[in-house]
């Protein structure tokens, strides 16, 4: 697919993941790299970026949480309805040559990480997935990750599946267990003492922030996908620029490595709305 030529495709299949999330399948060989997104035109509403996923050749998918007008409109569409696409766009995740990687995902974050896990497994890299959700029903891609042979560390806020608590805690516990430090937590027990070569995180920014802190403290190189409000998706309008460096998250991002992330001072503090107005995150009291 070429960025010069927008594409219109019928929805081939719709998978209802849970009450809030659906996966839409399209028959098209999308040539993308893990971490990239596609601008998706929902006729009559808006154009929105969604992470690209592909399980089998000749098909791609987007996994969408119904949160606002456009995503809810997409949820109301049916098989055969037409959706427009521009892309793929954005920077991509990069894998180490060998070793063991950690993927920390919350919300719909697993969508942007699925093809990274797939590629890693194909290269013989061990993949540990720290998948967190509010409830068991909201755990995305669990079976697909099992099929890939990923090592799963599941957590839910209500304890309905896996560890009761946050995936960031499990990630931290596993790292400490690997370092031989007793935390009294059940997490990490029985794990081989494999040190993560690299970590990757996609999800709510508060989760990404905590993962970043853990990685900095433990000297684990990492990459994060940083979502900002996107309009053009191709680096022209500036709506997705971050302070103070001005990098556009649709072009220089959304995938940013841990070293560069140190220069993005708004990370974990605030973002900009559609009008460009700064909106503090609720936990930011600066």
Ligand X SMILES: Cc1cc2nc3c(=O)[nH]c(=O)nc-3n(C[C@H](O)[C@H](O)[C@H](O)COP(=O)(O)OP(=O)(O)OC[C@H]3O[C@@H](n4cnc5c(N)ncnc54)[C@H](O)[C@@H]3O)c2cc1C
Q: Which of residues 27-56 bind ligand X (CB under 6 A)?
A: 37, 46, 48-51
Calpha distance 23→32 (Å, rounded): 18
Nearer Cβ to ligand X, position 211 or 250? 250
The DSSP letter of residue 81 is -
Report the C-alpha dihedral over residues 61, 66, 71, 74, rounded to 10 degrees: 60
Residue 70: closest CA among 86, 54, 84 = 84
Q: Is 215 annotated as a binding residue?
A: no
Pick 46 or 243: Cβ nearer ligand X? 46
Among residues 156, 239, 255, 261, which is the contact residue for ligand FES, using CB under 6 A? 239
Q: Determine if 63 is a binding residue for ligand X (CB under 6 A).
A: yes
Residue from 53, 113, 240, 261 that binds ligand FES (CB under 6 A)? 240
The partner in contact with residue 142, picked from ligand X, ligand FES, none with C-beta cut-offs of 5 to 8 angstroms by kind, is none
Q: Which does 64 bind (CB under 5 to 8 A by kind): ligand FES, ligand X, none?
A: ligand X
Alpha-carbon span 256 to 147, nearest angstrom: 28
What phi-psi label fits residue 269: left (phi over 0), alpha (psi between -120 and 50 degrees) or beta?
A: alpha
Of 79, 195, 236, 245, which lies in the binding site for ligand FES, with binding defined by CB under 6 A?
236
Of the residues 87, 254, 258, 268, which one makes contact with ligand X according to CB under 6 A:
254
Binding residue (CB under 6 A) for ligand X from 8, 67, 82, 179: 67
Task: State how beta strands 13-16 and 21-27 pair.
Answer: antiparallel
126 vs 205, which CB is nearer to ligand X? 205
**Do residues 61 and 55 touch, judged by C-beta distance below 8 A?**
yes
Contact 19, 78 (CB under 8 A): no
Whole-angstrom CA distances from 178 to 188, 191, 201 are: 7, 7, 20
Q: Looking only at residues 90 through 109 of this chain, which bind ligand X when binding is defined by CB under 6 A?
A: 108
From ligand X, ligand FES, none, interface partner of 70 (C-beta below 5 to 8 A by class): ligand X
Given a contact cutoff of 8 angstroms between Cβ atoms, the answer to whether 203 and 246 are in contact is no
Task: Map residue 13 onto helix, strand or coil.
Answer: strand
Query: Residue of minimal CB distance from ligand X?
Result: 68
Interface with ligand X, residue 113, by CB under 6 A: no
Part in contact with ligand X (CB under 6 A); list of ranges 69-77, 130-138, 172-180, 260-268 = 69-77
Which structure tokens are listed for 83?
A: 């959706």
* Residue 230 found at the interface with ligand FES (CB under 6 A): yes
How many amino acids of this chain bind ligand X (CB under 6 A)? 19
Instruction: Tell me which residue has tokens 């009291």.
Output: 285
Interaction site with ligand FES (CB under 6 A)? 230-233, 235-240, 248, 250
């Amino acid at each position: 697919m070429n960025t010069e030529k927008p594409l219109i495709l019928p929805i081939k299949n719709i998978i209802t993941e849970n009450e809030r999330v659906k996966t839409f399948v399209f028959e098209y060989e999308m040539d993308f790299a893990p971490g990239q997104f596609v601008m998706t035109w929902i006729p009559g509403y808006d154009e929105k970026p969604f992470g690209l996923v592909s399980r089998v050749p000749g098909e791609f998918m987007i996994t969408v949480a119904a949160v606002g007008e456009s995503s809810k409109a997409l949820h109301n569409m049916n098989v055969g309805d037409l959706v427009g696409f521009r892309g793929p766009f954005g920077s991509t995740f990069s894998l180490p040559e060998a070793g063991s990687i950690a993927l920390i995902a919350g919300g719909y974050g697993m969508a942007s990480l699925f093809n990274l896990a797939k590629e890693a497994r194909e290269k013989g890299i061990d993949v540990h997935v720290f998948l967190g959700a509010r409830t068991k029903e909201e755990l995305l891609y669990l079976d697909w990750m099992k099929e890939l042979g990923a090592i799963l560390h599941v957590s839910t806020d209500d304890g309905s599946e896996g560890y009761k608590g946050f995936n960031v805690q499990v990630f931290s516990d596993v790292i400490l267990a690997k370092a031989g430090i007793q935390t009294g937590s059940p997490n990490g027990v029985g794990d081989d003492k494999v040190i993560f070569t690299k970590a990757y995180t996609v999800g709510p920014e508060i989760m990404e922030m905590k993962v970043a802190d853990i990685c900095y403290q433990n000297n684990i190189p990492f990459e994060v996908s940083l979502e900002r409000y996107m309009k053009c998706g191709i680096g022209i309008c500036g709506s997705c620029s971050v302070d103070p460096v001005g990098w556009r998250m649709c072009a220089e991002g959304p995938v940013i490595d841990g070293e560069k992330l140190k220069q993005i001072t708004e990370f974990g503090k605030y973002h900009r709305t559609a009008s460009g107005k700064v909106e503090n995150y609720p936990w930011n009291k600066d």
